[in-house]
Amino acid sequence: MAVHGTPNSTQHEIVNLFTRILQTLKSTTIPNWLGLELSMAQLKSLLVLSDRGELSIGQLSDLLGIGIAAGGHLVDRLTQAGLVIRTEDPNDRRRTLAMVSPAGDDLVRRLRSAGFDVIHAWLEQLSTDESASLLIGLQALARAAGTRSKPSDLVAAERHAP
């Protein structure tokens, strides 16, 4: 970093290019999101269930920061849409469990993978040298961000967002 935390011209250009890339990526993937017939609360519920697996209505409600009645209503709507499966807890019949249905899992996978498909298409346009240079730069940025950028992390990320 430049003196006193002021970005130098290279850093400024990197930020500008990164912003352009993100804007372009957003513009190519936003139609997938705009076509959803889900409220924001329903989408959040679906994503939480996709990430966490089967949860009780109470657990889902706690994670979303809403009341149990509202959480139950969200699960009902998602169940009606075929995106969530609602079942009785076999260990406690007073509890209702919710999990993502195959259709819900497919929807989440499509939403999450749209950006990856675009990035893969962009990467295919790069030369071998450009790809290698980009990899080195992104590995350095990932280190600075405090993340790992080893192949096993990339494989795991692709598994969760095909």
Query: For 86-115, what is each residue's pLDDT tens digit?
Result: 999 888 888 899 999 999 999 999 888 888
Which residue intervals of the chain are DSSP H helices? Answer: 9-34, 40-52, 57-64, 68-80, 102-124, 128-144, 151-160
Domain membership of residue 6 (yes or no) is no
pLDDT at 2 over 80: no
Q: Are 131 and 123 in contact (CB under 8 A)?
A: yes
pLDDT higher than 50, residue 157: no
User: Is 4 inside any structural domain?
Assistant: no
Residue 130's pLDDT is: 97
Question: Is the pLDDT reported for residue 161 higher than 70?
Answer: no
Same domain, 29 and 65: no
Task: Kindly state whether residue 79 falls inside one of the protein's structural domains.
Answer: yes
Q: How confident is the model at residue 42 (pLDDT cuts 50, 70, 90)?
A: very high
140 and 62 within one domain: no
**Opening angle at CA 60, ends 43 and 162, nearest 5:** 45
Same domain assignment for residues 54 and 94: yes
C-alpha neighbours within 13 Å on the C-beta side of residue 153? 6
Q: How confident is the model at residue 12 (pLDDT cuts 50, 70, 90)?
A: very high
How many domains does the chain fold into?
Answer: 2
Residue 18 and residue 50 share a domain: no
Residue 8 belongs to a domain: no
**Final residue belonging to a domain, choices 101, 131, 150:** 101
Q: What percent of the chain has pLDDT over 90?
A: 65
Of 85, 101, 117, which marks where a domain is finished?
101
**Same domain? 94 vs 119:** no
pLDDT of 155: 43
| Structural domain contains residue 1 | no
In angstroms, how far is the first alpha carbon of the chain from the final one? 35
Give the model confidence (pLDDT) of 54-83 as tens digits.
999 999 999 999 999 999 999 999 999 999
CA distance 158 to 94: 38
154 has a pLDDT exceeding 70: no
In this structure, what CATH number is given to the domain that contains residue 52?
1.10.10.10
Domain around 44: 40-101
Query: Which of the listed residues 101, 119, 135 is the one where a domain comes to its end?
Result: 101
